[in-house]
Amino acid sequence: MEIELRPLDTKQHILDEAGFAYNFDRRVYFNRKTKKIFSVAFLEDRSDEEIKRLIQGATDDEEWKFYFTSEPPESVRRAVEASIG
């Protein structure tokens, strides 16, 4: 019997393999090492291939890189950063 994964399940598997953790309060996946944050809404709108490409993309490692459906306000950025450490 083959189990078919839903799109977000497949994306969660991709993120898990890349070292991302989920923050339930903010509904984001984050990786402290690469300083990347993906919102669930952003992930739902993107293909698996695009997510893999973004995960592998280089960042300056100085500031968090947010992947949201729209640019979050500075207050939201600070609140998310504070909640994930």
> CB–CB of 30/55 below 8 Å?
no
pTM of the full predicted structure? 0.86
pLDDT-derived band of residue 8, with 50, 70 and 90 as boundaries?
A: low
In this prediction, residue 7 carries a pLDDT of 57
Q: Kind and range of the H or E element at 10?
A: helix 7-17
Helix axes 48-56, 7-17, angle to 10 degrees: 20
Q: In degrees rounded to 5, what are phi and psi of residue 69? A: -65, -25
Summarised one tens digit per residue, pLDDT across range 33-76 is 999 999 999 999 999 999 999 999 887 768 899 999 999 999 99
Q: Assign 28 a pLDDT band (cuts: 50, 70, 90).
A: very high
Strand, coil or helix: 42? helix
d(CA 26, CA 39) in angstroms, rounded, equals 8
